[in-house]
């Protein structure tokens, strides 16, 4: 086994090691998964207007977020991917002054593969982001498109949307402008939108299928094609062409369900066929033994009970072989199992 060198092997004391990291001019930090700041260096403290890192140790990092919901989305996203690079997130300084940071972070695992820490560093990009007045706006031509056209800033806030987007989401353009686009996604896809945004900023373009919820509560599966628009060589905003593919997704999911259920039916038929032969043999042998016994023999009632149970197993095997529809029943702890009686009865009902 290879021995990993310790700090002392390099002639560096623990204090010297800490001073080294504290002197790095990049805002470095470590938090627990729950959000408690375990370590941060001087640059991190100064970024948020604190005099020393000690003021932040053991405090909740969520208090530095401008929008506390961003913390939850950030954690969900990094747990999905394991690493995020240069993700723009809005924070606030000690005195409440807004600050925009590009966050790069990764998960830290223990020996059992469990997440114990989130390590990262931040860059202040407040002065590097375009002012809202410089953002591109959609012209009247975009309102003639059947597809949805969205322009968002580098943090994922909606700048503009065409008429097709208004009609799909059920909100007016004025109501949506300036709102975080993540708020329109269904809860289970919000963290994937953060990953989508991070990857778009990293590689310049991206595409995926994510679902949104319209004003009436209806779910729409949308095919997103995003392009990073640059101005004078620097990222400026993101333009998305979005197409509603709900019908395609629904058909594909139904097709997958049908395929899986067909496999279950074939397996059920195979199980029933495999059970019937040994059950028939056992049933016949028990019948012979019962004929040879007298009712007053002590073994007779026991053999009779076994014979009855074998008959019940035969009935169950026949029902399994007759399953043609999915009928579920509640089991324990919220788990559902196949209701063999109803599922086999459904087939008999179809024959009537």
> What pLDDT, on a 0 to 100 scale, did the predictor assign at position 9?
55
pLDDT in tens, 255-277: 776 777 777 777 777 777 788 78
Question: 219 versus 7: which is more confidently predicted?
Answer: 219
pLDDT in tens, 159-168: 999 999 999 9
Is residue 38 within 8 A of residue 32, CB to CB? The reply is yes
Winning range, highest mean pLDDT, from 125-129, 288-292, 335-339: 288-292
The whole-angstrom separation of Cα 104 and Cα 342 is: 54
Residues in the chain: 352
Question: How far lies 22's CA from each of 28, 40, 239, 302, 316, in Å?
Answer: 9, 8, 39, 80, 70
The whole-angstrom separation of Cα 29 and Cα 35 is: 11
> What pLDDT, on a 0 to 100 scale, did the predictor assign at position 347?
47
Query: Running DSSP on this structure, what letter comes out for residue 233?
Result: T
Q: Which residues pair with 106 in a beta bridge?
A: 83, 119
Q: How many Cα atoms sit within 13 Å of 42 on the Cβ side?
A: 9
The whole-angstrom separation of Cα 78 and Cα 94 is: 26
> What pLDDT, on a 0 to 100 scale, did the predictor assign at position 158?
93
> What pLDDT, on a 0 to 100 scale, did the predictor assign at position 88?
87
The whole-angstrom separation of Cα 280 and Cα 165 is: 65
* % of the chain exceeding 90 in pLDDT: 40
Query: What domains appear along the chain, each with residue ranges and CATH number?
Result: 11-126 (3.30.450.20), 132-244 (3.30.450.20), 249-321 (1.10.287)
Question: Which of 19-23, 119-123, 185-189, 278-282 has the weakest average pLDDT?
Answer: 19-23
Q: Is the four-CA dihedral 64, 69, 75, 78 of positive or negative sign? A: negative
pLDDT in tens, 16-45: 667 778 888 889 999 999 999 999 999 999
Q: Is the pTM of this model over 0.95?
A: no
> For the range 259-264, what are the long-range contacts, defined as Cβ-Cβ under 8 Å and sequence gap of 24 or more?
261/326
Mean pLDDT of the chain: 84
> What pLDDT, on a 0 to 100 scale, did the predictor assign at position 352?
46
pLDDT in tens, 166-221: 999 999 999 999 899 999 999 989 888 988 988 898 889 999 999 999 999 999 99
The whole-angstrom separation of Cα 66 and Cα 11 is: 42
Question: 233 versus 196: which is more confidently predicted?
Answer: 196
Q: What is the mean pLDDT of residues 107-134?
A: 84
The whole-angstrom separation of Cα 81 and Cα 73 is: 12
Residue 298: pLDDT band (50, 70, 90) is: confident
Q: Which residues pair with 241 in a beta bridge?
A: 149, 225
pLDDT in tens, 67-95: 888 898 899 889 988 988 888 889 999 99
Strand segments (E) across the chain: 27-32, 37-40, 83-92, 98-109, 115-124, 148-152, 158-161, 205-213, 219-231, 234-244, 328-330, 336-338
The whole-angstrom separation of Cα 269 and Cα 275 is: 10
Is residue 193 within 8 A of residue 156, CB to CB? The reply is yes
pLDDT in tens, 305-336: 888 888 888 888 888 777 776 666 777 666 76
> What pLDDT, on a 0 to 100 scale, did the predictor assign at position 294?
84
Give the list of residues 6+ apart from residue 98 with CB closer than 8 angstroms, or none: 66, 90, 91, 92, 126
Exposure string over 102-130, b if 16+ CB within 10 A, otherwise e: bbbbebeeeeeeeeebbebbbbbbeeebe
Question: 316 versus 128: which is more confidently predicted?
Answer: 316
The whole-angstrom separation of Cα 140 and Cα 151 is: 14
Q: What is the mean pLDDT of residues 117-142?
A: 78
Residue 7: pLDDT band (50, 70, 90) is: very low
Give the list of residues 6+ apart from residue 269 with CB closer than 8 angstroms, or none: 321
């Amino acid at each position: 086994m290879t021995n990993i060198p310790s700090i002392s092997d390099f002639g560096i004391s623990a204090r010297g090691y800490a001073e080294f990291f504290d002197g790095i001019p990049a805002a470095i930090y470590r938090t627990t998964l729950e959000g408690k700041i375990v370590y941060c260096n001087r640059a991190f403290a100064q970024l948020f207007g604190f005099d020393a890192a000690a003021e932040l140790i053991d405090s909740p990092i969520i208090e530095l977020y401008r929008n506390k919901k961003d913390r939850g989305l950030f954690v969900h996203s990094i747990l999905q991917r394991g690493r995020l690079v240069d993700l723009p997130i809005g924070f606030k300084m000690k005195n409440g002054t807004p600050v925009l940071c590009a966050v790069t972070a990764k998960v830290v695992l223990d020996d059992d593969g469990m997440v114990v820490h989130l390590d990262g560093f931040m860059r202040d990009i407040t002065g590097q982001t375009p002012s809202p007045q410089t953002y591109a706006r959609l012209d009247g031509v975009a309102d003639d498109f059947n597809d949805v056209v969205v322009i968002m800033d580098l943090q994922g806030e909606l700048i503009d949307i065409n008429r097709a987007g208004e009609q799909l989401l059920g909100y007016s353009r004025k109501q949506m402008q300036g709102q975080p686009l993540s708020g329109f996604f269904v809860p289970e896809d919000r963290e994937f939108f953060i990953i989508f945004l991070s990857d778009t900023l990293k590689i310049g373009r991206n595409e995926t299928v994510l679902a949104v919820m319209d004003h009436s509560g209806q779910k729409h599966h949308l095919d997103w094609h995003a392009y990073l628009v640059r101005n004078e060589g620097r990222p400026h905003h993101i333009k998305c062409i979005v197409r509603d593919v709900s019908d395609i997704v629904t058909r594909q999911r139904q097709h997958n369900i049908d395929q899986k259920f067909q496999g279950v039916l074939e397996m059920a038929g195979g199980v029933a066929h495999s059970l019937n032969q040994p059950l028939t043999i056992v049933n016949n042998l028990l019948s012979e033994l019962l004929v040879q016994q007298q009712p007053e023999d002590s073994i007779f009632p026991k053999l009779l009970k076994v014979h009855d149970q074998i008959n019940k197993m035969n009935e169950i095997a026949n029902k399994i072989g007759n399953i043609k529809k999915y009928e579920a029943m509640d089991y324990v702890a919220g788990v559902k199992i196949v209701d063999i009686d109803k599922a086999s009865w459904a087939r008999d009902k179809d024959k009537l």
